[in-house]
Amino acid sequence: MPQEFVPIVLFLLVAIGFAGVTLLPSRLLQTNKYNKVKLDPYECGIQPATDARDRYSIRYYLVAMLFVIFDVETVFMFPWAVILEELGWFGLIEMMVFLFILVVGFVYAWKKGALEWA
């Protein structure tokens, strides 16, 4: 076996050993007392009012997708803010164009009623 693989094999052995050392005692010490309350879908003590697999309106998912899109877009502002002094006026104008496009998309979604799902 080549010498380059010895650290990798040792790392794998330590990882497998750690998993075994932590999982085996927990398996041996666990209690196996199951009852109806613990097997219910909600363990908070409240009886479920409806089935957990009810259908949701497509508007709920549209709002969720719009949130993810706009949230990811705002994440792009942090690296820009970090290097703003290096970018100068060009970076500022570029971000203003980016924000303008973002606001236009937000207003468009708002006017189309995509944000009203309730």
Report the CATH number of the 3-111 domain.
1.20.58
Task: Give the tens place of pLDDT for each residue, 40-51.
Answer: 666 566 676 777
The strand ranges marked E within 1-118 are none
d(CA 94, CA 53): 45
d(CA 96, CA 104): 12
Give every residue of the chain whose pLDDT is below 50, as ranges.
none
Which residue ranges make up each domain of the chain? 3-111
What single-letter DSSP state applies at residue 112? Answer: T
Question: At 33, which amino acid appears?
Answer: K
Q: How many CB atoms lie within 10 A of CB 105?
A: 14
pLDDT on residue 68: 86
